Amino acid sequence: SEETTRLHEEINRLKKEKGAVIMAHYYTNPEIQDVADFIGDSLALARIAQDVEENVIVMCGVHFMGETAKILCPDKRVLVPDPEAGCSLADSCKAEDFEKFIKLHPGHTVISYVNTTADVKALTDIVVTSGNALKIVNSLPDDEKIIFGPDRNLGEYINCLTGRNMVLWDGACHVHERFSLEKILELKRENPDAEILVHPECRKPIQTVADKVGSTAVLLQYARESKATRFIVATESGILHQMRLQCPEKEFIAAPPSDTCGCNECAYMKLNTLEKLRRCLAEMSPEVEVDATLAERARRPIVRMLQMSR
């Protein structure tokens, strides 16, 4: 629309004026993705944040993504369009409870998913994302005892594939837990040639029927390279925008959630709007701040992840 074009022009002008770079997660609204300099999964967004030359990063995603960028780049200003964009998975793991959990399992290496707050990361030995979790766990000795949090579904997935018995924190993402196996199988019956793409935050029965389980970037790459021309996609529906842009000749069907009132959108990701993006550039606020001592402690397991997943 005209309004979108106007906002894109204004955002591009402000971006140059402020020397900023705009990063967006695949789950953000299409019009945000279309104005971003980089779009990625959580792993790519962390990697890119570290490498960009600009001194101002605008992170269109959820809070932990901005926080991770700030921890990796303490000298840069990290702006977020809406500081209320949280994450139900990060919320399911409070640092004080996680600390007690760790104390209950002495001698365990603590692995945390990147969808956590800085204080949980500070209690962690190695951070992982869905894009590198399997590789990182596999690189540890077979007999290493591991605590894995907070996503139980990703943890179970890794336990199944590696034969390990990691101790799992009982957390989950409200969007990914909602997908219905029955409805996905119904869609598969109607579209027998379609391949099923599943994010590892989905429950195990859904992972079991997948042709590919992976992070948003992994699923996107799989869709590009697969010989199939139709896909049923069980993850947040924002990813469909890049799938359709990058594979215009293929068809993508969003897997439906089980309850009629729920939806396959992450309400937190969708708090990012073009107008809020424009305003945060114009006002150079809201800015992500992380206490320096906390950032230092949270940085170590993130850097370890980046080194281990090269």
Contact set with ligand SF4 (CB under 6 A) = 62, 87-89, 115, 173, 175, 201, 236, 266, 268-269
Task: Give Cα separations from 62 to 133, 150, 171 (angstroms).
Answer: 20, 16, 17
Q: Does 28 bind ligand 13P (CB under 6 A)?
A: no
Does 200 belong to an annotated binding site?
Answer: yes
- Rounded least distance, CB 142 to ligand SF4, Å: 29
Residue 287: φ, ψ to 5° = -110, 140
Task: Give Cα separations from 281 to 20, 58, 69, 81, 190 (angstroms).
Answer: 8, 8, 17, 8, 46
Q: Which does 28 bind (CB under 5 to 8 A by kind): ligand SF4, ligand 13P, none?
A: none
Q: Does 309 bind ligand 13P (CB under 6 A)?
A: no
Between 83 and 99, CB nearer to ligand 13P: 83
Between 7 and 23, CB nearer to ligand SF4: 23
Q: Does 130 bind ligand 13P (CB under 6 A)?
A: yes
- Rounded least distance, CB 196 to ligand SF4, Å: 18
Q: Which does 56 bind (CB under 5 to 8 A by kind): ligand 13P, ligand SF4, none?
A: none
| Nearest by Cα to 242 from 62, 48, 39 | 39
Sign of CA dihedral 205, 218, 173, 258: negative
Binder of ligand 13P out of 29, 115, 117, 309 (CB under 6 A): 115
- Rounded least distance, CB 129 to ligand 13P, Å: 5
Between 225 and 259, CB nearer to ligand SF4: 259
Q: Does 33 bind ligand 13P (CB under 6 A)?
A: no
57, β-bridge pairs: 21, 78
Does 130 belong to an annotated binding site?
Answer: yes
**Residue 115: strand, helix, or coil:** coil
Does 186 belong to an annotated binding site?
Answer: no
Alpha helices in 163-229 (DSSP H): 181-190, 204-208, 216-225
- Cα–Cα distance measured from residue 91 to residue 31, given in angstroms and rounded to the nearest whole number: 27
Binding mask 208-227 for ligand 13P (x = CB under 6 A): -------xx-----------
Q: Which residues contact 129 (CB under 8 A, 6 or more apart)?
A: 41, 42, 43, 46, 113, 114, 215, 305
Q: Which range binds ligand 13P by CB under 6 A, 52-60, 126-134, 274-282, 293-301?
A: 126-134
Strand ranges across the sheet with 126-128: 126-128, 109-113, 146-149, 167-168
* Interface size with ligand 13P, residues (CB under 6 A): 10
Between 6 and 204, CB nearer to ligand SF4: 204
Q: Does 201 bind ligand 13P (CB under 6 A)?
A: yes
Return the ∠ at Cα 110 (arms to 158 and 115), rounded to 5°: 70
Contacts 24+ apart (CB under 8 A), 289-295: 289/70, 290/67, 290/70, 290/71, 290/74, 290/118, 292/74, 294/118, 294/119, 294/122, 295/70, 295/71, 295/74, 295/118
Between 79 and 266, CB nearer to ligand SF4: 266
- Cα–Cα distance measured from residue 25 to residue 16, given in angstroms and rounded to the nearest whole number: 21
Give the interface with ligand 13P as residue ranges (CB under 6 A). Answer: 41-42, 115, 129-131, 173, 201, 215-216
Binding-site residue set for iminosuccinate: 25, 42, 113-115, 130, 199-201, 216
Residues annotated within a binding site for [4Fe-4S] cluster = 87, 173, 266
Binding residues: 25, 42, 87, 113-115, 130, 173, 199-201, 216, 266
